[in-house]
């Protein structure tokens, strides 16, 4: 049971380049989330998904797109990277509320630097 | 919208001593969940403790306990018998229950974090 995994762990991009971050979970969770962590600001929600084929915007969605074609995977895309997107990105997943388990499980994070 | 505030950017404690990390939050909801997450230098987010708002009893997990004051909207974390391995960034987080409009499917709202240093 690997839990939540993220690929890649580190990446350096030039301004204007594109990339996709992959999140995978093997816990059969319905809900999945993408957060970014910046110094002094905690983690902020970018996008989330409540099930396969559904996505929704979080607090800071601009410049990002997401897709959830399979229940176990949640992709975060940057179409044209900007230096303001330099951050650490975390994926998380959780069970549905009726499970009685309310915590989110986090991946190890991806450190992205845009130059 | 909910907000979470951790007013202590940094805290330090001597090994074996007790330290309390502060967290306050703002919400108009009556039912919700509160969490403390630990983030060591490895960056991994580790759940330390959780508290259901409808429970008056404070949660406890081994050396970690909380002081939950619902009316004051305060949720502090007490670490007893501090160990070197407790050194990390600690985040307080708020999670809403799902609502009929589907605007809150369990996203976490985080505080800014508190860096805890443990001195031997």
Mutation to test the B interface, candidates A4, A25, A43, most B Cβ within 10 Å: A43
A/B interface, count of CB pairs below 8 Å: 58
- Residues A38, A9: Cα–Cα separation, whole Å: 16
Query: Mean pLDDT across the stretch B34-56?
Result: 92
Confidence at residue B81, expressed as pLDDT on a 0 to 100 scale = 97
Q: Are the beta carbons of A33 and B108 separated by less than 8 Å?
A: yes
Flag whether pLDDT at B98 surpasses 60.
yes
- Residues B17, B108: Cα–Cα separation, whole Å: 30
State chain A's mean pLDDT as an integer.
93
Flag whether pLDDT at B96 surpasses 90.
no
Confidence at residue B97, expressed as pLDDT on a 0 to 100 scale = 77
Give A16's Cβ-side CA count (13 Å radius): 0
With tokens 């951790």, the residue in question is: B6
With tokens 């994926």, the residue in question is: A91
Check if the beta carbon of residue B3 is closer than 8 Å to that of residue B95: no
Higher per-residue pLDDT: A63 or A1: A63
Pick A41's closest partner by Cβ from B37, B98, B112. B112
Check if the beta carbon of residue A107 is closer than 8 Å to that of residue A90: yes
Confidence at residue B102, expressed as pLDDT on a 0 to 100 scale = 53
C-alpha distance from residue B61 to each of A6, A20, B36 (Å): 29, 38, 11
Reported confidence tier of residue B106, pLDDT bands at 50, 70, 90 = confident
Confidence at residue A102, expressed as pLDDT on a 0 to 100 scale = 73
Helices (H) and strands (E) in chain B, counts: 0, 12
State chain B's mean pLDDT as an integer.
91
Check if the beta carbon of residue A77 is closer than 8 Å to that of residue A19: yes
**From the CA of B45, how many Å to the nearest CA of chain A?**
6
Flag whether pLDDT at A17 surpasses 70.
yes
Confidence at residue A74, expressed as pLDDT on a 0 to 100 scale = 98
Most confident of A82-86, A95-99, B28-32: A82-86
**From the CA of B9, how many Å to the nearest CA of chain A?**
8
- Residues B42, A49: Cα–Cα separation, whole Å: 26
Name the DSSP letter for residue B71: T
Reported confidence tier of residue B30, pLDDT bands at 50, 70, 90 = confident
- Within 8 A of A111 by CB-CB distance, chain B residues are 43
């Amino acid at each position: 049971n690997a839990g939540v995994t993220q690929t890649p762990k580190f990446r350096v991009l030039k301004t204007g380049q594109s990339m996709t971050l992959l999140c995978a979970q093997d816990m059969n969770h319905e809900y999945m989330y993408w957060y970014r962590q910046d110094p002094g600001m905690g983690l902020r929600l970018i996008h989330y998904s409540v099930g396969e084929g559904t996505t929704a915007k979080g607090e800071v969605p601009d410049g990002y797109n997401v897709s959830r074609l399979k229940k176990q995977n949640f992709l975060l895309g940057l179409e044209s990277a900007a230096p303001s997107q330099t951050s650490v990105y975390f994926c998380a997943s959780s069970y549905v509320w009726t499970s009685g388990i309310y915590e989110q499980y986090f991946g190890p994070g991806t450190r992205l630097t845009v130059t | 919208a909910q907000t979470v505030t951790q007013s202590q950017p940094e805290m330090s404690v001597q090994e074996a001593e007790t330290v309390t990390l502060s967290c306050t939050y703002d919400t108009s909801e009556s039912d919700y969940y509160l969490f403390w997450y630990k983030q060591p230098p490895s960056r991994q987010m580790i759940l330390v403790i959780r508290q259901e708002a409808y429970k008056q009893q404070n949660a406890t997990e081994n050396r970690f306990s909380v002081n939950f004051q619902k009316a004051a909207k305060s949720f502090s974390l007490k670490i007893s018998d501090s160990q070197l391995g407790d050194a990390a960034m600690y985040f307080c987080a708020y999670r809403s229950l799902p609502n009929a409009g589907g605007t809150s499917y369990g996203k976490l709202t985080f505080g800014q974090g508190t860096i805890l240093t443990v001195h031997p």
